[in-house]
Structure formats: C-alpha cells, structure tokens
Amino acid sequence: GDSVTQMEGPVTLSEEAFLTINCTYTATGYPSLFWYVQYPGEGLQLLLKATKADDKGSNKGFEATYRKETTSFHLEKGSVQVSDSAVYFCALSRGGRRALTFGSGTRLQVQP
Amino acid sequence: ETGVTQTPRHLVMGMTNKKSLKCEQHLGHNAMYWYKQSAKKPLELMFVYNFKEQTENNSVPSRFSPECPNSSHLFLHLHTLQPEDSALYLCASSQDTGGGTDSPLHFGNGTRLTVT
C-alpha cells in the first residue's frame, strides 16, 4: 500500500538557519505530493503541493521539488523564523482518491 | 473562523461512557473525513463521506460510529473506548471535484480525547 516516511523530529534550529525536512514515499502510479503544516493548537493547513515529476511547490519561503527518481519530496527553507515552529506533514494522493496518505509529521522548533 | 469547526476541543471519558464528537464545515464542501492523530504515528484516515454517503471505512473498530446527516455536519459517536484510543481526532472537508490535487483538505482544530 501507499506510505510516506518522514525524518523523525524534533528538528531544532536557530533563527535564520537553513531547513531541510526529508520525505520519501511509496506508491504505485504518479501520486500528487503535499506538505501540510500544523501550528500549536490548530488543525493542519496546506503549505504547498506538486502534481508531477520535477514540479516545484512553493509558499511562504518554503519549497519542495517532486523527485520521481528518488521518490522524494524534501521540504526546504533558506532562513527559518520563530513563527515557523510547527509540525510539518508530508502526504500523497493517488489519482482520483480523495483521501490523503500522511507521514508521521516532523516537529520543527526554531529558537531566537 | 477556520471554516471547519470541531466541538468539544477537549474530552475526557471513561471506558463505559458514550460521547459524540461534532464537526461542522462552512465551506460548501461535499466530502468530509475523520482522521486520528497519535504521537509519533502517521495521521490515520478513519472514515470518508462524500455527499453524505460513506465511501471509506479504514478498518475502524465498531466502538467508533460515524454519522453524516448532511454535507455540512459530521459526527463521531464513541462508546466503550479503550485507553489506547486517546488521541487528537481531526475532522476535514474538501470540495468534491473528483481529484485530490485541486481539492485540498481543510482541517478543524481537532478534539483532544482522553480515555481513562
């Protein structure tokens, strides 16, 4: 079945540091890939998405590139802020199936 | 307003109690979902409803009973739960466009359930 694997957290960085959160997936066909973010006390929000190989999704300074050859969708940001502290979830969607398959989430803590 | 509202925010119940979680969406969506979020585990899909009809039950134990009276409301009825059922239960909705790429999920803030 489909699965998403994320690096375990927490990831602790200082403000303005470079961020990478790894995500790899297993799925048949050509899934769409997503990153969702969950701020403390809130539900998940869509951060960015990519629908085909080599697509780059971007939003709020975050980027992720759909790499089919390595089945990866790593999240990056050049300079993190304290306000980026949250849990980040990688997810995939296969074709017309509306329900997403999520990873276990990676907690990011940014210190001033 | 988040668009998806869940009540209550916190719930503590004994194993013999019966309680219900409520979800309401104000986005005009036609698909609604229940997810379970446990520490250090992937978000687990529980149920999917599309136009009030259940389209997916992810092998959820019968002590969890969903109800979707209309496209805007979704309930999760709980009875004889176990301590391992303690988790954050998230409701989500999406527009029914036939595909996941143009129809992102909108989540509520969740209900934190503790079973004692």
A16-39 tens-digit pLDDT: 999 999 999 998 888 889 999 999
Rounded Cα distance, A47 and A57, in Å = 9
* Residue % of chain A over a pLDDT of 90: 74
Work out the minimum CA distance from A12 to partner chain B, whole angstroms: 17
Question: Which pLDDT score is estimated for B40?
Answer: 78
Tokens describing residue A48:
């960015």
Please give the mean pLDDT across all residues of chain B.
Answer: 90
pLDDT at position B70, please?
93
Question: Structure tokens of B8?
Answer: 């209550």
Task: Tell if the CB–CB gap between A104 and B42 is shorter than 8 Å.
Answer: yes
| DSSP H helical ranges for B1-116 | none
Beta strands per DSSP E along chain A: 3-6, 11-14, 19-21, 23-26, 32-38, 44-50, 56-59, 62-65, 75-77, 86-93, 101-102, 106-111
Report d(CA A15, CA A19) in Å as an integer.
10
Lowest mean pLDDT among A75-84, A102-111, B46-55, B85-94: B46-55
Are A66 and A12 within 8 A, CB to CB? no
Band (pLDDT 50/70/90 cuts) for residue B97 is very low
From chain B, the residues in CB contact with A104 under 8 A are 40-43
Does B40 contact chain A (CB < 8 Å)?
Answer: yes
pLDDT at B19: 96
Q: Residue B90 is nearest to which of A43, A93, A94, comparing CB atoms?
A: A43
Contact B90 A42 (CB under 8 A): no
Instruction: Give the mean model confidence (pLDDT) for residues B67-95.
Output: 94
Residue B42 DSSP one-character state? P
Under the banding of pLDDT at 50, 70 and 90, the label for residue A96 is low
The pLDDT of residue B104 is: 80
Q: Does B56 touch chain A (CB under 8 A)?
A: yes
Structural tokens at position B93: 């909705």
Interface contact flag, B42 A42, Cβ < 8 Å? no
| Residue B70 or B56, more confident | B70
pLDDT tens column, B11-46? 999 998 899 999 999 999 999 999 999 987 888 999
